[in-house]
Chain A
Amino acid sequence: MLDNYFSILLFLIIGFIVGAGCMIGGWLLAPNHPDSEKLSPYECGFEAFEDARMKFDVRYYLIAILFILFDLEIAFLFPWAVVLDEIGLFGFLAMMVFLGILVVGFIYEWKKGALEWD
């Protein structure tokens, strides 16, 4: 079993080498004549108006937080799904209670408008 994880580690390393090799190939073969106009950030031809480290919509935070919650829910569902045949009706009902609580939260955020993008 550990042998298999060694292959995965090797694959990750080779994936890194493929990416890095491409970048190094580009760096070696491509021309490099920078000037200040070329290196300015692209803003449809205009000079950059302000810094890119700017305010952004709070909804991205909301999506990120909701993602963390629901991903945790999936993390709990995975082992439950794998052994559902063995744990029977009691296991099923226990998970339904858990899902029910999370669905109440989901309905709350839906009604609060956390999922609206307008």
Chain B
Amino acid sequence: METIQQYFVQFFGTQWGSMLFSLTTNIVFILAIAVPLLLGVAYLTFAERKIIAYMQIRVGPNRVTFFGIPWLRGWGQPIADAVKAIMKEIIIPTGANKFLFILAPVLTIMPALAAWAVIPFSPELVLADINAGLLYILAMTSMGIYGIIIAGWASNSKYAFLGAMRSAAQVVSYELAMGFALVCVLMMSQSLNIGDIVSGQQGSSFLNWYLIPLFPMFLVYLISGVAETNRAPFDVAEGESEIVAGFHVDYSGMAFTVFFLAEYANMILVAALTSIMFLGGWLPPIDIMPFTLIPGFVWLLLKIAFILFFFLWFRATFPRYRYDQIMRLGWKVFIPITLIWIVVLGLIMQLPESVRSVFPLNIWF
């Protein structure tokens, strides 16, 4: 690292050399996050089809081989899908606002990727260790709504417009429940820095994870995450039988695929956040010898995969909610529950340390 920096300095001069060096290293780190993420998104679609298939007692995609390797049957499917998608015509409907129509998918995927800048994969492995990490994540997830609204409006199609309104209203409603659940996490961790939130859950075993004292908030967060990403059973916005495909009904080819990528990237992001806030991030479940040898990011990835499996499982299990039921769940169930939980948690924190330590709700404070 040092020698490369010196080489840069020698080549470009002192001022430009160090600047270009930090630029290059940053870009390399960002690509090291973004490229595996996009591959993960591609293979999440494959995993979804496979897992749901096995849940429905069939095999799922198993024809497209991966470079002809026979025991990887089906693993070429995401690549084949990507090639197919990029070869398809992008239709821009008459009456659409061309600029916004093209911009909307880009606006959706940009925050979905950029939110990963602050996700810590292990104590040192974080691109941007900022103190306002959680606020940044909330800001990025809110940015995605612009893509939805702009896409629905710019298509100049009734279904797209109604789908966009529905999607946006649903996403903002569940963002409130998510935000309140995160306030509870903050009360426990006393820090907005995501690394500190994970470190706050450090202890001898998984009993220290915020999952245990904040279990209702974990459920609220997980379900809100499903609703926020417009996944089944909360996918009325794209209910095929009701309003065709929601805000992206007029998108085709690569423009549609970018929305699709963004949706799955958001899914992985929500799973990562759930793992970080409630499941101890990079921490092993029990802090003893064989588990501590495994590097932190492996634990984080395992937890993300676990939560993602839940997402797919929900989709295979539950029938779709009606829109009014979704809004009722968000506003009349989750927001009151989280508000009450904030008050209860605040009250517990007012108790003196000696009383707190025997209080059944949080013996681990």
Interface membership of B172, Cβ < 8 A: yes
Q: Chain A, 30-59, contact with B by CB distance < 8 Å: what is the 0/1 string?
A: 111110101111111000100111101101
Contact between B30 and A7, CB atoms less than 8 A apart: yes
Out of A7, A57, A74, A81, which one reaches B29, CB within 8 Å?
A: A7
Interface residues of chain B, those whose CB is within 8 Å of chain A, are 22-23, 26-27, 29-31, 33-34, 38, 85-95, 102, 105-114, 116-118, 127-131, 134-136, 155-162, 165, 168-169, 172-173, 175-176, 179-180, 183-184, 186-187, 190-192, 244, 249-250, 253-255, 257-258, 261, 323-324, 327-328, 331-332, 335, 339, 342-343, 346-347, 349-350
Interface membership of A11, Cβ < 8 A: yes
Q: How far is the CB of A65 from chain B (nearest CB, A)?
A: 11
Q: How far is the CB of A90 from chain B (nearest CB, A)?
A: 10
| With contact pairs A29-B87, A78-B192 given, residues A64 and B324 touching in the complex (Cβ less than 8 Å) | no
Number of A interface residues at 8 Å Cβ cutoff, please give it: 71
| Known contacts A26-B90, A117-B327, then 8 further A-B pairs from the complex at CB < 8 Å, ordered by chain A residue | A30-B88, A30-B89, A39-B91, A41-B95, A56-B162, A63-B169, A81-B184, A117-B324
Q: Which residues of A contact B253 (CB under 8 A)?
A: 26, 30
Chain A CB within 10 A, most for which of B172, B191, B192: B172
Q: Is the interface of B mostly helix, strand, loop or mixed?
A: helix
Out of A4, A6, A42, A71, which one reaches B250, CB within 8 Å?
A: A42
Contact between A18 and B249, CB atoms less than 8 A apart: no
Interface residues of chain A, those whose CB is within 8 Å of chain B, are 1, 3-8, 10-12, 14-16, 18-20, 22-23, 25-27, 29-34, 36, 38-44, 48, 51-54, 56-57, 59-60, 63-64, 66-67, 70-71, 74, 77-78, 81-85, 88-89, 92, 95-96, 99, 103, 106, 110, 115-118
| With contact pairs A23-B106, A83-B190 given, residues A39 and B94 touching in the complex (Cβ less than 8 Å) | yes
Contact between B127 and A11, CB atoms less than 8 A apart: yes
Q: Which residues of A contact B90 (CB under 8 A)?
A: 23, 26-27, 30, 32
Q: How far does the alpha carbon of A8 sit from the alpha carbon of B131 in the complex, in Å?
A: 13
Q: How far is the CB of A115 from chain B (nearest CB, A)?
A: 5
Out of B107, B135, B157, B186, which one reaches A43, CB within 8 Å?
A: B157
| With contact pairs A23-B105, A26-B254, A26-B255 given, residues A8 and B183 touching in the complex (Cβ less than 8 Å) | no
A-B contact pairs, 12 of them (CB 8 A): A15-B112, A22-B258, A30-B254, A42-B93, A42-B157, A52-B158, A54-B158, A56-B165, A67-B175, A78-B183, A82-B191, A99-B339
Contact between B94 and A40, CB atoms less than 8 A apart: yes
Contact between B350 and A25, CB atoms less than 8 A apart: no
Q: How far is the CB of B100 from chain A (nearest CB, A)?
A: 13
Q: How far does the alpha carbon of A64 sit from the alpha carbon of B331 in the complex, in Å?
A: 13
Contact between B118 and A40, CB atoms less than 8 A apart: no
Chain A CB within 10 A, most for which of B114, B179, B187, B328: B114
Out of B111, B114, B129, B254, which one reaches A25, CB within 8 Å?
A: B254
Q: How far does the alpha carbon of A116 sit from the alpha carbon of B23 in the complex, in Å?
A: 52
Q: Which residues of B contact A19 (CB under 8 A)?
A: 105-110, 258
